Amino acid sequence: MVAEAARCLDDDIVASAGELDLAMVMGTGFPPFRGGLLRYAESYGLARIADDLKKWRERRGGRFEPPTSLTQKKAFYPYQ
């Protein structure tokens, strides 16, 4: 989910991480106390997620390629 959310940001499907997080909380029932999917991803560690995806890519193929925003950004929320 995090990879697809990051791709939505990369492809300008959604304007900001905040909008995506709000949509995930209100639209899919993502736990609000986590702050949204991308806020949770930051707390988990973007580099850690990218590393996990790379491991999956080696096992399962290119669909698990980490998106650019996971490999190059330190945060989706720049004010942290």
78, pLDDT greater than 80: no
Q: What is the mean pLDDT of residues 11-31?
A: 94
Percent of the chain with pLDDT over 90: 79
Cβ contact 76:43 at 8 Å: no
Q: Which of 37, 70, 35 is nearest to 53 (CA)?
A: 70
What pTM did the predictor assign? 0.84
Q: How confident is the model at residue 70 (pLDDT cuts 50, 70, 90)?
A: confident
25, pLDDT greater than 80: yes
Going from the N-terminus, what domains does the chain have, and what CATH number goes with each? 2-72 (1.10.1040.10)
